[in-house]
Structure 1
Amino acid sequence: MAEITASLVKELRERTGAGMMDCKKALTEANGDIELAIENMRKSGAIKAAKKAGNVAADGVIKTKIDGNYGIILEVNCQTDFVAKDAGFQAFADKVLDAAVAGKITDVEVLKAQFEEERVALVAKIGENINIRRVAALEGDVLGSYQHGAAYRRSGCC
């Protein structure tokens, strides 16, 4: 059995964002092999995400972004307002929003498929169900957006 050092645990934490004890457990199960530990954590994350899928995700954020004469409004849900304010959740929603604008994607199923692996990893890390719920686009010569609340603010204009 390989020795699990603090530096190995630290490296795994940096690469996965998982908690210290989860990293130590994964390294122990993988006999110190960091790549195998990451793979096992991914599989475990998929199982956790499947268990959380039935939980109601009624909180979350609505994000907007305008690029020239094209704009997207996106809703991403989670279970609690605490997670809605989490930097990792916000970054995930921003990444989905950026992809929707860049690809002019208005089909929520396309976005869900594109970001499923990242969503599963985030569910495993945060411990709550997360859903990309709705997306809509607007086109026009004059577009603007406003989002109330500084905690959720990220706008393509204003």
Structure 2
Amino acid sequence: MSITAAMVKELRDASGAGMMDAKKALTENEGNMEAAIDWLRTKGLAKAAKKSGRTAAEGLVGVAVEGGVGVAVEVNSETDFVARNAEFQGMVTDITKAAAAVSDIEALKAADLGGKSVETVLTDKIATIGENMTLRRMAKVEGESVASYVHNGVADGLGKIGVLVALKGVDNGIGKQIAMHVAATNPASLSEADLDPALVAREKSVLTEQARESGKPEQVIEKMIVGRMNKFFEEVTLLKQKFVIDPDTTVGKAAAAAGVEVLGFVRLEVGEGIEKEEEDFAAEVAKTAGR
């Protein structure tokens, strides 16, 4: 019988298996849903469904640079134990390399990795390692040169924070220094023009109310707000931040002095923005040992 996309989706929802595995299970069992689920279970591919509800806020960021293109990928696991596992690290490295050839996270999930899709490889690892894992996000930058930096590295190109900096011009070492700066300061944007307008409006509103509390005349308040907003831009935009390597200058001026222009940057930190359930260390060890 013909295997439809709806049937594949239904089986994926029921089993947690990857798209290609679900399609194969249905094909092997002539579209019988229950038999397909049993087939996946015998192959160890349905175990992932039991793990999929658990929070995966640990893991690694992988970075790779080839020519003028840099890519960063975040793959999450439930515990740091798995992030230190050589098998998991190898998978993240392979996924990061595959990301260089695609444009977004959905294309990466479907990308080929040793004859299987990245999504299927991840599902297989969930079944064998025994933790929920997620391919959370990826980002790319392009320039005449790209510098990378990994903080809290566990292996080449793998760590808890991954940074890429795209430059116009020949990098003489300033690129990595700027990448280290980005890792430390986590700027909101490259420049004032790139800032989220909502963030700027919110900050201006707060500063306006604070200034009005002073009781000064409106024309004085307007000047106060201009000065305070400039201070805000200096704190949150990369090019205007004081350079951590040399606080007497800004990142933008340091780059110009080195003969390059910063075109863009990426900073991914493991678990950023994920609400993680608090669990004491002993419970984490016991949970891991019990799998």
TM-score category of the 2 structures, normalised to the smaller one: 0.5 to 0.7
Q: 1:43 to 1:150 in 2, by over 3 A?
A: same
SS state of the match for residue 46, structure 1?
coil
Query: Alignment partner for residue 121 of structure 1, among 124, 129, 135?
Result: 124
Does the aligned pair in 2 maintain the 1:111–1:132 contact within 8 Å?
Answer: no
Q: How far apart, CA to CA, are the structure 1 residues paired with 2:85 and 2:156? A: 13
Displacement of 1:43 in angstroms is: 4.4
CA contact (8 A) 2:40 2:46 kept: no
Letter in 1 for 2:53: G
1:86 aligned partner, one-letter code: N
What is the root-mean-square deviation of aligned Cα atoms in Å? 2.4
Q: CA deviation at 1:41?
A: 7.6
More strand by share: 2
Q: Which residue of structure 1 aligns with residue 154 of structure 2?
A: 151
Return the letter of the residue paired with 1:125: T
Highest RCO, 1 vs 2 (Cα 8 Å, sep ≥ 6): 1
Partner SS for 2:151 = coil
For residues 12-67 of structure 1, the C-alpha deviation after alignment (integer angstroms, 9 at most, x for no partner) is xxxxxxxxxxxxxxxxxxxxxxxxxxxx6874422111111111100011111100
5 Å matches for 1:1-158? 43-101=42-100, 103=101, 105-113=102-110, 114-154=117-157
What's the TM-score, normalizing by structure 2? Answer: 0.37
Letter in 2 for 1:48: K
Q: CA deviation at 1:70?
A: 0.4
Q: Is the 8 A contact 1:76 1:134 kept in 2?
A: yes
Which blocks of at least 5 consecutive residues in structure 2 are unaligned? 1-38, 111-116, 159-175, 177-291
Moved more, 114-123 or 126-135: 114-123
Q: Is the 8 A contact 1:45 1:123 kept in 2?
A: no
Q: Deviations over 1:64-111 (max 9, x none)?
A: 11000001011000000010111111111111111111x1x1311222
Residue-pair matches, total: 117
Change (3 A) 1:123 1:73: same
- Aligned-pair distance for 1:150? 3.5
**Identity percentage over the alignment?**
39
Aligned-partner Cα distance in 2 for 1:150–1:100? 20
Residues 47 and 152 (structure 1 numbering): CA distance in 2 closer, same or farther, change over 3 Å?
same
Select the structure of larger CA radius of gyration.
Answer: 2
Partners of 1:70 and 1:150 in 2: how far apart?
21
Cα deviation for residue 142 of structure 1 reads: 2.2
TM-score (norm 1): 0.66
